[in-house]
Every structure is written in C-alpha cells, then in structure tokens.
Amino acid sequence: MTDAEVLDAVAAEAGWMEDLLVRLVEAPTVLGAEEEGQAIMAGAFADAGLAVRSVALDADALRAAPGAAPFSWDVDGKRNVVGDWAAAAGTGRSLILNGHVDVVPPAEAALWTHPPFSAHRDGDWLYGRGAGDMKAGLAAMTGAVRALARAGAAPAAPVELQSVVEEECTGHGALQCLLDGARADACVLTEPHPDHITVAQVGVLWFHVDVSGVPAHAARASRLGFDAIEAAYGVLAALRALEARLNADPPAPFDAFEHPINLNPGVIAGGDWPSTVAASCTLSCRLALYPGEDPADLQAQVEAAVAEAAAADERLTARVRYDGFACEGAVVDHAEPVVIALGDAYARVHGERPALQATTATTDARHFVRSGIPAVCFGPRGERIHGIDERVSLRSVTESAQVLGLFVRDWCGLV
Ligand code: ZN
C-alpha cells in the first residue's frame, strides 16, 4: 500500500473509531469494573478481523513475578483482551500495540460540565473520564489495523493488540500478557502523548501511612487525647522534605523538568466522630523515582522519613504499608529502530519529526522494557488527564491512527 492508500484507508475509519471511543467512554471502567470495556474491545478486535482471546489475571503468578506490585484486592475473573493479527509471511518485524481500558475515578463528578461517563461531544472534542487516558488510543490502534486489514493487507510478522486492565494501579494487566508469553520486536503504547514519542519515564511508588492516635472526648482532648489526623500533618511534612531532597539534583533527561519527582497525597481517611479525638488516620500517597533506582530503596527512604516524624512525639505511631505501584522507571535509546521508524511515520503525516521526550508519569512501557522489548508511547491529543472535563481531540485520533497505519506497514511489512 502507498502512503496515500494507507492514509485514506485509515481516514475512512474515523466514524468507526469515534463510535468505538464513545462506547468505551460510556463504560465506567474504574478499578474493579473493567469488564464492560473489555467486552467492547473484544467486539472491536473481532470487527477489525483479529483473532480474539482472553488473558486472565493470575494473582499467584503476578505476585511471584519480577516487576510486580503488592496488591490487596481480588483480581479473580479479570482479563486482558488480545487481538492477534496473524502473519502472512515470516519476513517482517513483530509488534505489540498496547492500551489500557481502566480509568481513574472522576475525582469529583459534580465539578464536570457534563457527566464524566456521558461521552459528550463539542466540535472536535470528545469529553469524558478516560477519553484521552486512554480509550482514544485503544480506538486509534484498533482503527489503524482495521483499515489495513479491510484493504486486504496482512502483516509479514505477527501483530498483537492488547487491551489491558490495571494500568492505573499496578500495571499487572500488561505484566500478565508478558507472563502469558507475549513477545515482539517492539511495542507502542498509544497513551495520550501527541506531537512526541515518549522514550523515558519515572517509576512510581504507592504507600499508605497508618497513623495512630489516642481517642478521647473532644472536651478533654488537650489532656487525654492525641489526634491522629493532626499527627498526619507532621508525617506529610517529613515526606515533603524527602521529596525536596529527591528533586535536588535530577539526572538527565529529568533535569529538564523543574520538579520531576512529585509526592501526591491523594487520599486521606481518619476518625469516626466530630466530638472524638481521631484514633486513626491513613494517608495514601504516590511518589516517583528515577530510572535505574530500585523501588525498595525509595521504600526505605519513605520509612525513614515517617520514622523521623514519629520520633518527634512519643504518642505518635505510624506504620507504612505498600499496596499498589512499586515500579521502576524505564528508558529507551533514541537510536532504537522503533523510535526511528515511528518518527519516520509521524513525519510523513505531519511534515516534521516528533520530539523525543521523557515523562514524569509512569506507563506500562516499563514491563516491556524490562522484558527486553523496546517500548514507547505515542497517541492522540488528550487534555486534563486525571482532571475535570478530560477530553480528546477526535481529529488527533484519526491522525495518530494514520501514523500508526504507516508505522505498522513499514515496521512489519504488508503482504
Ligand atoms: Zn494512561
């Protein structure tokens, strides 16, 4: 297929991709409720001519795997959905296209202009939780392959499309695909990274600090009680001091960021009555680490910071728990063939080469990199990711699918 034939074939899928995106956004696939989205993706893969299979999450296998994160919730019955586009020859390079179907909660539904799972459209923008991160990417990668398949093409090496779960908390969906034997010469994750290819990312640690106080009647609080909620302020201050040390001398490429390592106290829960001194408080945080660093080393630093805060008051006890992300960063060399080939495809659609960037977030790319598969992120233009009124440009869905269509043709070869 010529460039023009690929671009036209993918453009003809714009309506199909938008319809898929709308149905995905209308499925509120937060943690534990991913299956409605996976059923939609199974149908979409089949409609694109792919052989569809499920990869069930296996809690025991995940817990034993290198790169796994601790998790307390039940994963029984959860699955990734994989679409295989079989090779018609053995001459090309194989490829994994990966996207996650899970989304973070809406943060505060009442703040949204339109309900977060209503898939409201306004001009070029499609609004909704997960529209950008990253259901548009799932639609784009599937639409690109559907366009090539409907034009009668078949790849010269296997192409595997993955719709995975749990990217936003552990990455265990992608990890399970790898444990199940997924291998390829490269992987592209169609995260909302427009105008650039993401080649480096931080690692992320989730931790939970359980602070204990001494409950008492509020009327006698100053004499008898010790408030766990107020004590959590001191713990947070010690963690902020750790964060400042971690940002003092960032290694390249993260020295380009003003503040690459972010501590986010995302959830706080404590106490049970306004007139009772709070007996307990849990502070749940996310903190990042640089590539090459071991999450276990950061865990030790977090525990030291919490111990330091606890030492300031003998009534304060604080225990650190781990549940969720404990992952390393990842870097892919700029000279990797996948970076060059995807950049070439981008340049033929947009007339200039994409920037190669680092991100201060994590993605599932690290699991592929750890497994020896060069993995980069590129996808549609999403905005307000994890925020209010998240949205994605529909034109960018088609354009990124066109880039992916050219890239698949060049990387794998078409028969
Ligand atoms: Zn994402």
Give the distance (Å) from ligand 1 centre to CA of residue 363: 6
Give the distance (Å) from ligand 1 centre to CA of residue 37: 15
Bond before 253 cis per omega within 30 degrees: yes
Give the distance (Å) from ligand 1 centre to CA of residue 412: 25
User: How many angstroms separate the CA atoms of 6 and 144, rounded?
Assistant: 9
User: How many angstroms separate the CA atoms of 282 and 302, rounded?
Assistant: 15
User: For residue 350, what is the enclosing H or E element?
Assistant: helix 337-350
User: How many angstroms separate the CA atoms of 4 and 414, rounded?
Assistant: 15
> Which tokens sit at 50?
């792919």
Helix (H, G, I), strand (E, B) or coil at 382: strand
> Which tokens sit at 24?
């995905």
Q: pLDDT tens digits for 321-369? A: 999 999 999 999 999 999 999 999 999 999 999 999 999 999 999 999 9
Task: Tell me the torsion sign for CA atoms 37, 43, 46, 52.
Answer: positive
Q: Which of 298, 276, 296 is nearest to 288 (CA)?
A: 298
Q: Which of 188, 199, 196 is nearest to 99 (CA)?
A: 188
User: How do strand 375-377 and strand 95-100 relate by DSSP bridges?
Assistant: unpaired
CA max distance for the chain: 81
Give the distance (Å) from ligand 1 centre to CA of residue 77: 22
Asked if residue 348 lies in contact with residue 406, where contact means CB atoms within 8 angstroms, the answer is yes
User: How many angstroms separate the CA atoms of 316 and 342, rounded?
Assistant: 54
DSSP characters over 195-238 = TEEEEEE-EEEEEEEEEE-B--BGGGHHHH-B-HHHHHHHHHHH
Give the distance (Å) from ligand 1 centre to CA of residue 403: 19
What pLDDT score was predicted for residue 215? 81
Task: Tell me the torsion sign for CA atoms 227, 232, 237, 242.
Answer: positive
SS3 labels along 393-412: EHHHHHHHHHHHHHHHHHHH
Q: In this predicted structure, which of 5-14, 150-159, 225-234 has the lowest mean pLDDT?
A: 225-234
Helix (H, G, I), strand (E, B) or coil at 172: helix
CA separation, residue 59 to residues 11, 19, 404 (Å): 41, 34, 33
Q: pLDDT tens digits for 230-285? A: 999 999 999 999 999 999 999 999 999 999 999 999 999 999 999 999 999 999 99
Is the pLDDT reported for residue 413 higher than 90?
yes
User: How many angstroms separate the CA atoms of 149 and 86, rounded?
Assistant: 11
What pLDDT score was predicted for residue 315? 86
Give the distance (Å) from ligand 1 centre to CA of residue 296: 24
The CATH number of 204-327 is 3.30.70.360
CA 137 remoteness from chain centre: 12
Task: Quickly tell me which residue has 């006698």 as its tokens.
Answer: 220
DSSP characters over 74-91 = --TT-EEEEEEE--S-SS
Q: pLDDT tens digits for 171-219? A: 999 999 999 999 999 999 999 999 999 999 999 999 999 999 888 887 7
**Which residues are 125's β-sheet partners?**
122, 393
The whole-chain average pLDDT of the chain stands at: 96
Give the distance (Å) from ligand 1 centre to CA of residue 214: 41
Give the distance (Å) from ligand 1 centre to CA of residue 100: 7
Is the pLDDT reported for residue 221 higher than 80?
no
Sorted by where each begins, the domain ranges of the chain are 3-201+329-412, 204-327
DSSP structural state of residue 133: I
Give the distance (Å) from ligand 1 centre to CA of residue 314: 42
Start-to-end CA span in the chain (Å): 9
Is the pLDDT reported for residue 223 higher than 90?
no
Architecture in CATH for domain 3-201+329-412: 3-Layer(aba) Sandwich (3.40)
Q: pLDDT tens digits for 58-94? A: 999 999 999 999 999 999 999 999 999 999 999 999 9
Task: Quickly tell me which residue has 């959860």 as its tokens.
Answer: 78
Q: Is residue 225 very low, low, confident or very high in pLDDT (cuts 50, 70, 90)?
A: confident
Give the distance (Å) from ligand 1 centre to CA of residue 190: 8
User: How many angstroms separate the CA atoms of 362 and 208, rounded?
Assistant: 19
User: How do strand 382-383 and strand 280-289 relate by DSSP bridges?
Assistant: unpaired
Contacts of 284 (CB under 8 A, 6+ apart): 206, 207, 208, 209, 265, 266, 267, 268, 269
Q: pLDDT tens digits for 92-142? A: 999 999 999 999 999 999 999 999 999 999 999 999 999 999 999 999 999
Give the distance (Å) from ligand 1 centre to CA of residue 191: 5
Q: Around ion ligand 1, which residues have CB less than 5 A away?
A: 133-134, 191
